[in-house]
Amino acid sequence: MTLSQRRRDARHDWWRGATIYQIYPRSFMDANGDGIGDLPGITSRLEHVASLHVDAIWLSPFFTSPMDDFGYDVANYRDVDPMFGTLDDFRALVDRAHELGLRVIIDQVLSHSSDRHAWFQESRQDRTNPRADWYVWADPEPDGNPPNNWMAAFSGRAWTFDARRRQYYLHNFLPSQPDLNFHHPEVQQAQLDNLRFWLELGVDGFRFDVVNYYFHDRALTDNPPMPRERVQPGNPQSYQFQQHNIEQAENLAYLERVRALLDEYPGSTTVGEIGGNDPLPTMAAYTAGDSRLHMAYTFDLLDSTGDARELHEVLARFRELGDDTWPCWALSNHDVERSASSWGQARALLALTVLCSLRGSLCLYQGEELGLPEAELAFEDLQDPFGINLWPEVKGRDGCRTPMVWDETANGGFSDHGVATWLPVDPRHRPLAVTRQAQDTDSLLHRVRRLLKQRAGSDVLRRGDQRLIAPEALPDGVFGVIRTLGDRRLLCLAHLGHGDTPSDIALDGLAAGLEHGHVLDLPGMPTPQRQGGALRLSPGAAAWLDLS
């Protein structure tokens, strides 16, 4: 099937309620034996991904880069870094994914480039060249200090002085990641052209890194201080309310231009990453209607530890922001502690069951289906600049980025035996390897496959509306939602409390018809017992009741 035929046949809203599997290319599979994952390696393992009953893959950056921030510092937006392969390898990956029924979403880091990018190399030459204003340059203060107080995410000021131009340039992240000036119309168009390049190669959508960072306040106004009780000591930017360096009004108009481009390719989609001090309202605004992003996510659930009341508060706040918005929820990714550690390894399946019950699309991070915990690394093993700069108070992101384990060998089947991998394989991961779990039909891997298949086959879960059950209507530690599509209803409950004492959940009053509800078989979960008009649920268990 050609690209144009596939697009004509695509259900345009496939992304609504989809499950997306995130692949971190450096750590998924090493095909050439250099200790670093690559595109041919990913292609060789796509059958495993397809077996999970997911709809799409999301590839973290694989573009040409000096790798100061492991691909989130792009030196060429239209080519593959040689360590990952070639454009032909990428084409082969896309073709194989489509053969398996998987759509392909790729990262796009539009807000900033590498300082090795040709655009920045030209921009820094002088103040009059054709790309002089493609980046954010500003004169020093009279005393030589930076033009304002903005802080960078990886510590220190968000400004670096360039001796040639005798100006500072803005970087919200590393000094080697200069921010592009999106107030310049040529910058906007250049990035749209880069998106079109990949759409023409057959990708099905984009995940936009820090999508609320594109525009800055032209006046370079100082950010106000953050109230001390909200400061996160390991995050320099949290000492300020990020009012002027991100989330400017112009961002919305640019997202509408992005959406107009995507609409030229029916079936393509977008998901935005939104950080900052108060991301939920931005998430709602950026996904409102049908002219901006299709989906977005924040770190509100990514930072979750599985507390029922906190989970309810996040979802209730998002619900208040608008019914026409569409979230993409995740509990793990390449930037945060793995959910098997934050929720507890014994609750890995419970965490995913809760995720599957929510209205929205889902992201599953590589290894989450195996229950991999956060890896423990020594300082000398660290690669992440965030962790290196702030160690030991902040360990950085390497613990969630270690190689995928395919078998129980020393390198976990990720690389050839004896090869030094870019990050070490955690010995605790090897007994959780794919080959071992595949042999045990009661393993977490098999249970996750059954769970995701169950969700994939349920229109109520994929597309239905959601009503949150107030914590006051449930026993302490129990979380619940009711999903509705037409006259079909599903009650989803999860006991996130601890201890051994079960809770009796009074069904009367939660929804009409509960007394006739049919308890669905959830993989790996004990069948809850009815006690008169109540449902008895033990800590660590979940239950879905079909009320149709």
Token pair for residue 105?
Answer: 């979403």
Q: Can you point out the beta strands (E) in 286-342?
A: 295-297, 328-330
Measured distance CA(256)–CA(289) in Å, rounded: 11
Chain centroid to Cα 9, Å, comes to 28
Token pair for residue 231?
Answer: 């400061």
66 in Cβ contact with 170 (< 8 Å): no
CA angle 304, 310, 314 (to 5 degrees): 85
Token pair for residue 33?
Answer: 């034996």
- The secondary structure element, H or E, covering residue 59 is strand 56-59
Active-site residue, selected from the candidate residues 126, 264, 459, 476: 264
170 in Cβ contact with 150 (< 8 Å): yes
Quote the DSSP letter at residue 224: P
Residue 186, CB-side half-sphere exposure with 13 Å CA sphere = 7
Measured distance CA(239)–CA(234) in Å, rounded: 10
Measured distance CA(300)–CA(291) in Å, rounded: 24
Quote the DSSP letter at residue 179: B
Quote the DSSP letter at residue 476: T
256 is known as an active-site residue = no
99 is known as an active-site residue = no
Quote the DSSP letter at residue 292: S
Quote the DSSP letter at residue 236: G
Measured distance CA(528)–CA(449) in Å, rounded: 21
Tell me: cis bond preceding 392? Omega within 30 of 0 counts.
Answer: yes
| β-pairing verdict for 103-108 and 205-208 | parallel
Measured distance CA(230)–CA(239) in Å, rounded: 8
Measured distance CA(259)–CA(412) in Å, rounded: 41
Measured distance CA(389)–CA(272) in Å, rounded: 27
Active-site residue, selected from the candidate residues 115, 204, 209, 384: 209
Measured distance CA(300)–CA(176) in Å, rounded: 28
49 in Cβ contact with 57 (< 8 Å): yes
146 in Cβ contact with 139 (< 8 Å): no
Q: Which of 344, 181, 161 is nearest to 254 (CA)?
A: 181
> Phi and psi for 276 in degrees, rounded to 5?
115, -175
Annotated catalytic sites, by residue?
Answer: 209, 264
